[in-house]
Structure 1
């Protein structure tokens, strides 16, 4: 992501002066915390529909919606994976573990699971975690069941996994006209389609789909790089996460294959004969090497140092052209790996839950901002990164890019939800 494309924070109130649709739930809330949310207007109730691939940050995000009193129902459409029914059971198991961990009421009665599609076709790496988890019988996404869930309700849609356009369209069209208040997409991996050209087509159709039958509805984008000035919107401290989420799931998240995948992808740019202490030719060994360095930073300080310098060597070995072609990888190495292994503490990927917290703070008009934004056109090379550019008029926008994100405020929001379920 080019630094020049990060533009300043504009208060939502100012954008609201341009178009009343930007703040979709001012009537719901006047206070900052989730504990103060009321039910949807007219007592109709409100449903959250979530496209999720049931990774750890997805599970935390779904839990946050279940815990949020403004939602009477949370419908999860498993998406971007192949083991839909195993993932569904894993999510149910997580909700049980979470209630036990917090000593809180169980929120499963608010949860509905439906099987969606996978625009990427291939199995996601984290699906290995579902091995041994029984398959749960869940219905395939269909208009009849979805309309039954959404009829007479206000609707908020959250896309935190790759989703097929037909699936998104079906959800929008299954709601009563005028009831879809928002569609929030955490841009990046969750925007993925078969290729970059298909991704662009997908993103450009979202706002017209929402607006067709919901003129007051809006599309909201978030980005760990563009919504957060520190470019750290995906990460939260391990200790904080471990206190609030079930140990089994936190340990699972610590074993995320993301880290070794990026190291392996970047290492191809190192010169022949480059010497590294990392076990690059043993994937399981590399996963273990990274896991231990993150689990115990003090004991494995030398490993952290080695990983940091390995990443630095990758970046220094890449030409300007290679960095442009692999902008997505470069952004991850610069903004995720170097802070993670160059600092003293370990973080956990919590982007989905954190960005949903940021979205809700924006809806509460609690100081978060947003700008009308247009997705960058014509970026079609594999591995490239396409972000958003500010526009001055909603007619030229693909949606609202939320800004003013701060991880400490996201934590505070989630802490409010923890308090509310412990009640």
Structure 2
């Protein structure tokens, strides 16, 4: 080993690179891809160099000894999305893990690392991390409750036209439907929240049947859309009348847990003084990820976990378009897709046979719609 290579491997930049490669965030080695090189497909060596002559920071690169080709060690990784040193990006991720706002993170990093950052760059990193959280939540396979477990459900208004006046009066309010599994000896509890088009039974019950396991005990308020919960699936449904009690004295139903989660989730929006409607679900996904992994208050555990999630969902070599397609396919709760699914709900038919334990939510609601129409016909007669 030459003295230059030895000094490179003893540098802080290389030690930081080794830690990231052990986590799977970057590739541990690289081969030369120059076909005209004598050492074609041979392993390249790490090397430190300046991007420009007057630059202060040294950049770690892969270097071929024969053809002198340089490639960044972070090319194709999550860090290549931002034109900043890796230590700066890691500092931004630490601020995100500690739930520090972009404005405060800018001041902290500029003061401690003596690097001028813009708030837009920090918001860009935060947005990518929320996309990672959306994929890590795994909405399609997330199930709550089970035999004898309590699941609280409720809906909450996140966005509305103030005083019902102004030019935005035609814009519909944003309702979010939430479920939370109470903590027990086996788990610390999990939650799921989703933007919904409306609060009709057809919309809410489809989510309940999809996310709650059979045998769950469901606590809710007396909203009329919940009346048919136990009709088509093995649920025990208990209600509490909030105009009379917070805790029902007869059946013990209480929804204080989901109500407290609404406050905790909305606190983020109050600190930001609101946000665009298209970003609401991404912030909700971040809250779900923190809550389900029990890292809401533990910034160190949150930082270590998000690095593992990045290595899982944005592994080195993946293209940005492929990553964004995964995010779009996972996040199927936009207003447009929700409208399409609700408009075509009664006309869609299931393919194949299903057993008694594997009941399709669409089959349940097609049956529910038939029963509902019959009840309406009887009332009219």
Please indicate, yes or no, whether the TM-score normalized by the shorter chain is above 0.5. no
Q: Which has the larger radius of gyration?
A: 2
TM-score interval w.r.t. the shorter chain? under 0.3
| TM-score, length of structure 2 as denominator length | 0.27
Higher relative contact order (CA 8 A, sep 6+): 1
| TM-score, length of structure 1 as denominator length | 0.25
